[in-house]
Structure 1
């Protein structure tokens, strides 16, 4: 009987994968229940929107710092400790909700702490993976982790979190605390990482962060991929910041229809995780990444002109397939190329560009749509991606999957 793919990746990967799956469900439950909790305490729209912002803010404030610490300490132990700290924070929130003493300030503080923990744990997990699986298995391992995120965080956790909140407001947060304890237990069961050949950095924190940025900037392929991703996320963020209004005004959809389109987006992403390694194996990373740039341009163009629902559905499914394939391919390249002692810092630069680009794009998209038309951000995003494709096309020949 043939061994399961996950078994071939090793027992430590199974533990890492399961820990990721469990914590992704918990994260999704809190993401769904958190705004509901704020809304139960205050009806101020600004405070409700702020709950999302405070959880994302740590990525902009601490991404580079977290990357430096990930390279300083044992990554397995770091994930374990951070998960236990997040579990304790959620346990405290659960207690205040159960005793009806919760306030907006308490919710914000816990969500911010969870966000800080996420910057450390996610960066450490990405840096830890190459020590767990062989280099040639990284695309398959990343594909499984991406698929786990989509299924657990997007499909299962969101409705579960809302349902549990209706039953009892404290339950979703207590469940999330338990998922972090379970994840920490699974990580504790992994074998200790081998002692790195390179010494752990012990210079100034600022110097270590600069070293990571400088190393990335000097590597022409990774610099190209990082800049392309950052600028591409500005374009994406600008276009999709107004997506809910686009659905209403251009496609004539209700709130239910908007939710249907988001589900189609998730379905495409899940499909992308199943075909990523096959596509890179059949055509090579360079061709896959070039094709992804074309998909980006075409997606924004079609959404700028169409008023037909089924056209939008097809385009979004194809786009989300591309997004997963691009993410898995680029992550695997980075994990193979970056030296072990720099993976945390280089990975944190990518995270900063990713979220920073999307945040800047969201701000620009709202301004553009307000000043002109709802489709203006899509036209500008198409033009921007066309320029990125032209400049990146030839250098991408050096990409290998």
Structure 2
């Protein structure tokens, strides 16, 4: 990025988008603690707790491809705004249910000490799974559309800066402010984080609807009202699969997400039973390590990429993520766990800023929603698989190991497997591959300026 580009303002629309992301992600941070904490007060079964997370990730398997077609056909501002409205309805309904049905639940510490599980637990677990499924469907369409919207809001030369600031705001709220605040709100009333999230999502929707301009995708008006689902999904799939770099990044992301979610699926049990932290605010506070690292990563990602080159930055991120998870299992104490969370957060966000900016720069606007959805189908669909495997591995591990080692083993397995991916990554996502792809994209954009500038 040139010095002149660095001085360009990001604009009023970007400020609204940033404020919307801040509100929505603060609510998501509250929910990240509230959902798993409620589940851990209903059961100690690692697989059942994992299923709550799986329900929210299943839409990435069955809905992400249709979501891409929708993102490339309809006003992207309207899609994001209405998905926030849908999430308000679901979260508010869940909050009301928790408000009336959570009285008398045992604490997670009491359950771990042998207290009987509550009689109404299965019904509440089912409600959590249903809510997670509905919220996941809205999230798939909203998040896929939001990434396709950004190149219509800021100049393409500013994408790293714009994405970095978005990641900083999102991560600060989602992981740094939200979880500890959620733990405090849980101590007041278990329903309070859910109800607060509904209000924050309403604010987010209002800000999105206030964006000024035309956000209809390039070529959408010429496609007609009839949707050829198979043909349009196929076009996005063929573009991704024929693009060596984007295909390799999608495969890598899928493997990384599968392996990282072996451990993150049961992290609430790890914090409670291995780190011996049974208070909601303690769980929220421990999770701020990842958030602090993510904020730091979002602030330095642009400079790290410029110093190391994009390909080297991605390889360093893979190594850093794998080593952090491995050491979390080997050093099961609060301070090292928090510090390793910081390191992991830095590497995760550097990976995200580099790869999201590359996709926004390399994929033509008319295909951005569909290719992005295929990419996330590969990259995010595996989260559900990793979440289930994590719960199953703990159950299997308990037949051979003490409970604490069964919980630690998923960190060790996930970390070592991530490190092994470096061999594949060095050949496929290096700086030479990235620079060649960017040159081709620049030439194609120069030949089709209407596609490059659509929506700006």
Which TM class, normalised by the smaller chain length? Answer: 0.7 to 0.9
Per the alignment, residue 199 of structure 1 pairs with 220
Per the alignment, residue 420 of structure 2 pairs with 384
Q: How far, CA to CA, are the matches of 1:170 and 1:239 in structure 2? A: 27
Per-residue deviation at 1:146?
Answer: 1.0
Per-residue deviation at 1:320?
Answer: 2.5
Per-residue deviation at 1:86?
Answer: 1.8
Q: Residue 233 in 1 paired to residue 262 in 2?
A: no
Q: How far, CA to CA, are the matches of 1:99 and 1:312 in structure 2? A: 36
Q: How does 1:269-280 map to 2 (within 5 A)?
A: 269-280=294-305
Q: Residue 128 in 1 paired to residue 149 in 2?
A: yes
TM-score by length of 2: 0.74
Per the alignment, residue 190 of structure 1 pairs with 211
Per-residue deviation at 1:308?
Answer: 8.6
Other structure's SS at 2:58 match: helix
- Are the aligned partners of 1:290 and 1:396 in contact in 2 as well (CA < 8 Å)? no
Q: How far, CA to CA, are the matches of 2:329 and 2:191 in structure 1? A: 43
- Are the aligned partners of 1:244 and 1:258 in contact in 2 as well (CA < 8 Å)? yes
Per-residue deviation at 1:60?
Answer: 2.4
Per the alignment, residue 23 of structure 1 pairs with 24
Per-residue deviation at 1:50?
Answer: 3.6
Deviations 1:348-385 (A, max 9, x none): 22322233334434455553983798275157415522
Other structure's SS at 2:72 match: helix
Per-residue deviation at 1:305?
Answer: 6.8
Per-residue deviation at 1:133?
Answer: 0.5
- Are the aligned partners of 1:289 and 1:396 in contact in 2 as well (CA < 8 Å)? no
- Are the aligned partners of 2:94 and 2:194 in contact in 1 as well (CA < 8 Å)? yes
- CA distance change for structure 1 residues 157 and 232 in 2, over 3 Å: closer, same or farther? closer
- Are the aligned partners of 2:57 and 2:383 in contact in 1 as well (CA < 8 Å)? no
Deviations 1:187-213 (A, max 9, x none): 111113255442355542122222211
- CA distance change for structure 1 residues 278 and 39 in 2, over 3 Å: closer, same or farther? closer
Q: Specify which of 106, 113, 119 is matched with residue 134 of structure 2.
A: 113
- CA distance change for structure 1 residues 138 and 310 in 2, over 3 Å: closer, same or farther? same
Root mean square deviation of aligned Cα? 3.6
Per the alignment, residue 177 of structure 1 pairs with 198
- CA distance change for structure 1 residues 167 and 255 in 2, over 3 Å: closer, same or farther? closer
Q: Specify which of 360, 377, 399 is matched with residue 335 of structure 1.
A: 360
Other structure's SS at 1:9 match: coil
Other structure's SS at 1:72 match: coil
Q: Which moved more, 1:276-285 or 1:384-393?
A: 384-393
- CA distance change for structure 1 residues 288 and 178 in 2, over 3 Å: closer, same or farther? same
Other structure's SS at 1:25 match: helix
Q: How far, CA to CA, are the matches of 1:25 and 1:99 in structure 2? A: 24
Q: Which moved more, 1:257-266 or 1:29-38?
A: 257-266
Per-residue deviation at 1:326?
Answer: 1.0
Per-residue deviation at 1:7?
Answer: 8.9
Per the alignment, residue 379 of structure 2 pairs with 354
Per the alignment, residue 224 of structure 1 pairs with 248
Q: How does 1:258-273 map to 2 (within 5 A)?
A: 262-273=287-298
Per-residue deviation at 1:338?
Answer: 1.0
Per-residue deviation at 1:61?
Answer: 2.3
Deviations 1:242-282 (A, max 9, x none): 76788899xx7433798776432322221101100111223
Per-residue deviation at 1:159?
Answer: 2.5
Q: How far, CA to CA, are the matches of 2:127 and 2:267 in structure 1? A: 31
Per the alignment, residue 90 of structure 1 pairs with 91
- CA distance change for structure 1 residues 24 and 245 in 2, over 3 Å: closer, same or farther? closer
Listed as ranges, the gaps of 5+ residues in structure 2 are 1-5, 103-119, 439-456
Per the alignment, residue 367 of structure 1 pairs with 393
- CA distance change for structure 1 residues 260 and 24 in 2, over 3 Å: closer, same or farther? closer
Deviations 1:26-72 (A, max 9, x none): 122233223455567x5574655543332222222212121221112
- CA distance change for structure 1 residues 240 and 48 in 2, over 3 Å: closer, same or farther? closer
- Are the aligned partners of 1:235 and 1:385 in contact in 2 as well (CA < 8 Å)? no
Per-residue deviation at 1:333?
Answer: 0.6
Per the alignment, residue 434 of structure 2 pairs with 399
In the alignment of these two chains, the number of paired residues is: 393
- CA distance change for structure 1 residues 339 and 355 in 2, over 3 Å: closer, same or farther? same
Per the alignment, residue 277 of structure 2 pairs with 255
Q: Residue 146 in 1 paired to residue 172 in 2?
A: no
Q: How far, CA to CA, are the matches of 2:196 and 2:268 in structure 1? A: 30
Q: Which moved more, 1:29-38 or 1:297-306?
A: 297-306
Q: How far, CA to CA, are the matches of 2:128 and 2:264 in structure 1? A: 27
- Are the aligned partners of 1:296 and 1:385 in contact in 2 as well (CA < 8 Å)? no
- CA distance change for structure 1 residues 176 and 294 in 2, over 3 Å: closer, same or farther? closer
